[in-house]
Structure formats: structure tokens, C-alpha cells
Chain A
Amino acid sequence: MPEKFDVIVVGAGPAGTSCAYTCAKNGLKVLQIERGEYPGSKNVMGGVLYRKQMEEIIPEFWKEAPLERPVIEQRFWMMDKESTVSFGYKGLEWGKEPYNNFTVLRAPFDQWFAAKGVEQGVLLINETVANECIVENGKVVGVRTDRPDGDVYADVVVLADGVNSLLGKQLGFHKEFRPDEVALTVMEVINLSKEKINDRFNLEDNQGCTIEIFGDSTKGNLGTAFIYTNKESINIGVGTTLSSMIKAKLKPYDLLDYLKNHSMVKPLLSGGESAEYLAHLIPEGGYHSVPKVAGNGVIVVGDAAQLVNAIHREGSNMAMASGKMAAEAIIRAKEKNDFSEASLNSYREALYNSFIMKDLEKYKDAAHTFEHHPQYFKEYIPMVNQAMSKFFTVDGTPKREKQKQIMRSVTGTKGTFKVIQDVYRAWKAVK
């Protein structure tokens, strides 16, 4: 009879490790399976890690975790071909305890985090693929791995197997995702000296800046680009829904090079040295795409449960919070020795009562709205740029006359009714 565990966690990203760590800390016997050479070797993120949900697992983690810079400034650009309208917030309170968020590089971070789990007693096995869940009498009882004699058993299997979650699909918890439910994102890590980063982004050591870029960064397609400052490198990436990529016949790496060479971006990167290129899918289907998250002997967390808030670029924090909630549900189930769906549904309840599902519910129509009404990215962003240019160009036209001209150019192109309709629709999608 093979060894039996209380919990098997498939995947060593933020969701899986949060769950494994919390279970082990509470005395459960945990096996964590990672298919990569080490945790983080298959994982990709733009790079923002939020303090709050991480701290709820490891208090004061910033004192020892491999972090890059605390983010003290968040900028947003609405970019056109040769201009950009920007706004943002910079606050020094984000630069000291307890912090708001940090830039991180995931390969070192995920290794550190998984090692913390191992310290708590998690048995972490790398280089192992969980090929399928072992199901007996309608209950998940373990996983079949690609190791010889690789069947392992547990009371609960936690699927933290990421955006593609082949195991969730195997169990019928979700169908294959549609191209409009995922965003294909590519990024580069570009090495640049600390001094240059500090100068170009107006930072001091141990201060970071993030820039989210809308509009021409995706050639008007539904998606965003980002530039995040690490200690001595910059992460620059761009993504659109896979459906937009297909429709516009875009090569993602061409789009990335277009962004890197954009007149608004190029000076920030000048002299930098590419160090890594990464592609990954982001689950962006939102509320309607969340699969069944608990079954008999099984729980789904993180990207595998599609827990990403694309509008606020939150994902790893939701992964961590969901992993912790899953662990708490498993601990309760263990006390009752009941691992049925009804028992594990306490995870589902916790998830739906938390900020995670409340936020996903708030934006449940946003992706659909912007996908089906491309004018927001394609027309309004250039329009706003033109309006700002006109308003701030001093040419002897009285300001009231300028305002009238701007209003006329907006309503003239589209018609007043259409504009009001567009504004109302966008407001409804994000209210």
C-alpha cells in the first residue's frame, strides 16, 4: 500500500504553496508536487506582489523574502502613437512598513516561499507531473504522477496547477477555455543599472514604480502593457486576450518589440540588456469563468480557479488568499474526518464571501464589454490625447472656445448620443 497523506497539493506557485504551508503549519501531512525543476521555473508574473495577503501567511515576510522594490508610485498611461496622457499616485507611505506591494522576480521568490513550506514540514517533490486525479467511487483519492509507481493518495487533493489546469478539466470542473477567457502575455526582463533606473523613474534605492499602459501599447486591442522596476532590471510586458491576438493576427513578440521601440517607452529602456523572455496565459474570464472549486476530496485554488482581477492586475494575492482559505477548509474537514464536497464547500463559501469573488463579481461584465466594444481602446484613447494636446497648446485661442472645439470634435466624430451611450456602458461595466 503506497504512503497516504492528509493533503496532496499539485503545483508550487503562490496558491499551492500558501495552502501547503498553512496545512503543514497546522500539523497536516502534506505532499506538494511541482513539475518544474524548482518552484518558479514554470511560473510567470508581471511582477507585483501585494503585501496584505502574503503577510497573512508569513508575517513580516519583507524582512527575509527575495523582493525587488517596494512600489511607491503607480502610473497609468493612455498612450497614442506619439503622445500619452498620464496620471498616477506616488506616496512615501507605501515605501515603509507595512508597505502596499512589491515588485518581485518569481523564480527566486517562489523557491523561497516553497522552502518556507518545507520548513513547516511539507514534503516537496520537484520534477514530477501529476497526470491525472485518481477517482474512486466519485471521490478524488489521489493523483497519478509520471514517476515509476507514481500513484500517491490523500484525503484531499488541492489543484493549484495553474491557468491550464488540465486536472480540473479532467474532473469536468471546467470545459476548455475560450480564447476570449485568457490573455496571452509576453514580457522581457531587461537589465539596467540601479542608477539609471533611479534617474529615469525618479526613484531612490528601495523605491519602485509601476506603469500600466493602455491604448497604442496593444495597437488598440483589448489588453494592457506594463513596465515594472526591479532593483537592477525592468520587467516590460504586453498582453491581449488570445481572441484579440487571433483577430488582429498579431505576433505577440512583434507587439512587445513595438512597445519597446515606442517613442514614449524607448528612452526608459535605452542601454538595457535583455536577460529573459517569457510567455504565459493569464486567466481573465473573471466571475463567469470560475469553475467548480470544491468536490469530493478535491479543491481548486489560484489561477486554476481563474481567480484573477484583470482590471486591478491582482492575481498572486488572490492565489495566496484562496490557498489559505482552502487550507482552513481542509483543517475543518480533518476535524470532522469528512472530506466530502458538502464538507469542503466551506472553502467555496469562504471564497464567495471574500474580496476575491466580490471583486470578480463587480467586474463580471467588464472584459465582455471592452472586448465587444473596441472603441474604448481604439477611438477614445487617441481622442483624449488629441483633446489634451489641443487644450494645453497655447495658440491664442480663448480657453472657452478650445473647450467647445474639443467637445465638437468628440461628439462630431461619433454623435452626442453615441458618446453618452459609450460612457454609460463603460460605467456600468466597472461600477
Chain B
Amino acid sequence: MSTKTIEEKQYLLRFKCDTKSHLTVLDHDVCMTKCPDKICTVFCPAEVYKWEGTRMQVGYEGCHECGSCRIGCPYQNIKWEYPKGGHGIVFRLA
């Protein structure tokens, strides 16, 4: 079947998760007080970012490592590194 939701899309993927996040929201207060749109929760292609009322939840385990959040965060509030060697997403096809 062809996928209909982001959950179904993410389920197609293989990840070798590190125990430590390679993505860090530097200051959750910035998200709370300065960023009404919380735009990372919209454009992140893997729905890694979810706003939970007072802080940003970062589901780094499903990250595609595209870099959009680092560039797109209006407050440069995301520290973005590569996962440890051999970890993170493992594309099998394209």
C-alpha cells in the first residue's frame, strides 16, 4: 500500500539509534516566549519536533539528518550534529 501518514512513512525506515541525541534545543524558553509558530514542528520532514506546552520534545531517533531545523530555526536555537559514526538513519534504496 502507498503510505498516507507520516507515521506510516517513518515506519518504512531503518534507524540505528544512538542513546544520545544529536539534536539539542538550546533554550526551551526561546521556543515558549519568542516563537509562536514553532515552525520546526511544521517543516521537519520526520516530525522530530513536538511542542509539549512548556518544552520542545525532540524525537531524534526518527531524524533524517537533513539539516533543515538547523537552518530553518528562526532563533538558531538548535544545535545540530551528526549522530555517532554508523548511527542514525540507514537509507537502503534511494
| Interface set of A (CB-CB < 8 Å, partner B) | 35-37, 40-47, 105-108, 126-129, 145-147, 163-164, 166, 176-179, 182, 184, 186-190, 233, 235, 242, 245-246, 249-253, 257, 260, 269, 272-281
Q: Is the CB of A274 within 8 A of B13?
A: no
Contact among A47, A107, A128, A164 for B91, CB-based, below 8 A? A107
Q: Is the CB of B91 within 8 A of A40?
A: yes
Contact among A176, A249, A276 for B94, CB-based, below 8 A? A276
| Interface set of B (CB-CB < 8 Å, partner A) | 1-4, 6, 8-10, 12-13, 16, 37, 39, 42-43, 45-47, 64-68, 70-72, 76, 80-86, 88-94
- Among A128, A182, A251, A253, the most chain B Cβ lie within 10 Å of the Cβ of A253
Instruction: Find chain B residues with CB under 8 A from A176 CB.
Output: 70-71, 76
Beyond A186-B45, A189-B93, A249-B39, is A37–B64 a contact (Cβ under 8 Å)?
no
Contact among A184, A272, A276 for B13, CB-based, below 8 A? A276
Q: Is the CB of A274 within 8 A of B1?
A: yes
Contact among B2, B67, B82, B90 for A37, CB-based, below 8 A? B90
Alpha-carbon distance between A105 and B92 when the two chains are bound, in angstroms: 9
B18 → chain A, closest Cβ, in Å?
11
Beyond A37-B86, A145-B85, A147-B85, is A250–B42 a contact (Cβ under 8 Å)?
yes
Q: Is the CB of B43 within 8 A of A44?
A: no
Instruction: Find chain A residues with CB under 8 A from B43 CB.
Output: 184, 242, 245-246, 250-252
Q: Is the CB of A279 within 8 A of B45?
A: yes
Contact among B39, B76, B94 for A278, CB-based, below 8 A? B94
Alpha-carbon distance between A187 and B91 when the two chains are bound, in angstroms: 12
Q: Is the CB of B71 within 8 A of A257?
A: no
Q: Is the CB of B2 within 8 A of A105?
A: no
Contact among A249, A252, A281 for B37, CB-based, below 8 A? A249
Alpha-carbon distance between A188 and B10 when the two chains are bound, in angstroms: 11
Beyond A242-B43, A278-B64, is A44–B94 a contact (Cβ under 8 Å)?
yes
Instruction: Find chain A residues with CB under 8 A from B9 CB.
Output: 188, 253, 274, 277
B15 → chain A, closest Cβ, in Å?
11
Q: Is the CB of B68 within 8 A of A43?
A: no
Contact among A41, A129, A190, A281 for B2, CB-based, below 8 A? A190
Q: Is the CB of B90 within 8 A of A36?
A: yes
Q: Is the CB of B94 within 8 A of A127?
A: no
B86 → chain A, closest Cβ, in Å?
3
Contact among B10, B80, B86 for A127, CB-based, below 8 A? B86
Alpha-carbon distance between A187 and B72 when the two chains are bound, in angstroms: 20
Instruction: Find chain A residues with CB under 8 A from B1 CB.
Output: 273-274
Alpha-carbon distance between A125 and B37 when the two chains are bound, in angstroms: 42
